[in-house]
Amino acid sequence: MKRRTSKKILLGVIGLAIVVSFLYPRGSEAVDPAKLKIAIPKKVLSVGSGPSGSLYVNYTATWADMLMKKVEGLNISVVPGGSSQNMRAIHTGDMDFGITATLQTYPGYYGLAWAKGVKYTKVSSLFPSYSYEGVFFAKANSPVNSIHDLNGRTVSFGYAGGGSDVTGRELLTFFGIKPKNIVNASWTDVGGMLKDALVDAVF
């Protein structure tokens, strides 16, 4: 109970720190980080990001850095992860915070799709990170002009088990599209694969 109460207090202060960072001006008039003093549950907290090269890495690193500047004595380590991985780790208590895609969070909470009957309910939503739009793209001279053109072709959804991978596969199933092959690779490699015609489209 004590750990849960401390965590709730910390979440409240983190929310306050986020608001303060937007309400107060930068520079000499900026709020003094020393004013935000709370009992930190443990020395180092962790936040799950994503694989190397993904937006999640930069986003969570910036978020953690901002909080450490606003809350005295707070240390947050950014660890590799992904939407479903982060949700699992938070549920089991192996991670304190994590970023997830809504399309992964909902089935995880209710034990659907990737969760395969396991309900990951020991999680709390803190704030929406950003709006999300999924886009399939191909080379300009490609015959792929719509999602239906992916039938019988090779498509990449980034790294295996990530938000784009799960969502992309669900979209193909929804539209009844059967690609020739689905390639999973790091986002740093996917662009080169599209350029070299190793894949026909990327989501």
- Of residues 82 and 52, more confidently modeled: 82
pLDDT score at 36: 63
Does residue 151 carry a pLDDT above 70?
A: yes
User: Beta strand pairing status for 154-156 and 181-183?
Assistant: parallel
Residue 195 token pair: 């350029």
Q: 169-185, pLDDT tens digit by residue? A: 989 999 999 999 999 99
* pTM score over 0.85: no
Does residue 199 carry a pLDDT above 80?
A: yes
**pLDDT band for position 24 (cuts 50, 70, 90):** very low
Q: 32-53, pLDDT tens digit by residue? A: 545 567 777 788 999 999 887 7
pLDDT score at 98: 96
DSSP 137: B
Average pLDDT over residues 78-99: 94
Instruction: Name the E strands within 81-186.
Output: 97-98, 154-156, 181-183
Domain with CATH 3.40.190.10 in the chain: 147-202
pLDDT score at 47: 96
pLDDT score at 45: 94
In angstroms, what CA-CA distances link 16 with 1, 19, 24, 36? Answer: 23, 5, 12, 9
Residue 182 token pair: 């689905």
CATH classification for the domain delimited by 147-202, as one of 3.20.20.370, 3.65.10.10, 3.40.190.10, 3.30.110.70: 3.40.190.10
